[in-house]
Amino acid sequence: MKMQPLRFRFGNKGFIFAIDILLAVFVIAAVLMLSSFYLLKANEDPYSRLHASRIGSDIINSIDNSGVLQTLSQSLIDSNINRLITINHEMQVKISCANSSQLIIETDPKQPINRFITKGERFFVTTDNYCIAEYKTWLK
């Protein structure tokens, strides 16, 4: 049995033209969505996260190299952190030693929920103990 051709007013040209327009609209919508996604992504500053991470690492390194970290004195470590930290950053340091309790030093007691927090740790040795200083840094 032979198929009968469709009997449209302009033949099959209208049907093909409609499919062509539909495909073009789909491609344009996809390009607009992708370009808006990348424009929104470009507004985000990638260096602020790296900067926060480096500030936390630099502060812990400075305190460790000066010998303040080995004293395990909460007031001395807190004053050094507050002296070294920048205005627009906050920090929390947890020091855990093998044979003693945990020491927590915070510049701000409440951590943000919807913001980026960098985290790192540094191992150090006191006169009779080995300890871990875990630090978190975030923007205000």
* Helix 74-84 and helix 46-66, axial crossing angle in degrees, nearest 10: 140
Say if residues 117 and 111 touch (Cβ distance below 8 Å). yes
Residue 55 · residue 86 · CB < 8 Å: yes
The total of other beta-carbon atoms located within 10 Å of residue 106's CB is 15
Task: Give the residue extent of every domain in the chain.
Answer: 46-139
| Domain covering 46-139 in this structure, CATH number | 3.30.1140
pLDDT digits (tens, 9 = 90+) for 70-105: 888 899 999 999 999 988 889 999 999 987 778 888
* CA of residue 108 relative to chain centroid, distance: 19
Q: By percentage, how much of the chain surpasses pLDDT 70? A: 86
CA angle 45, 52, 54 (to 5 degrees): 120
Average pLDDT, the chain: 85
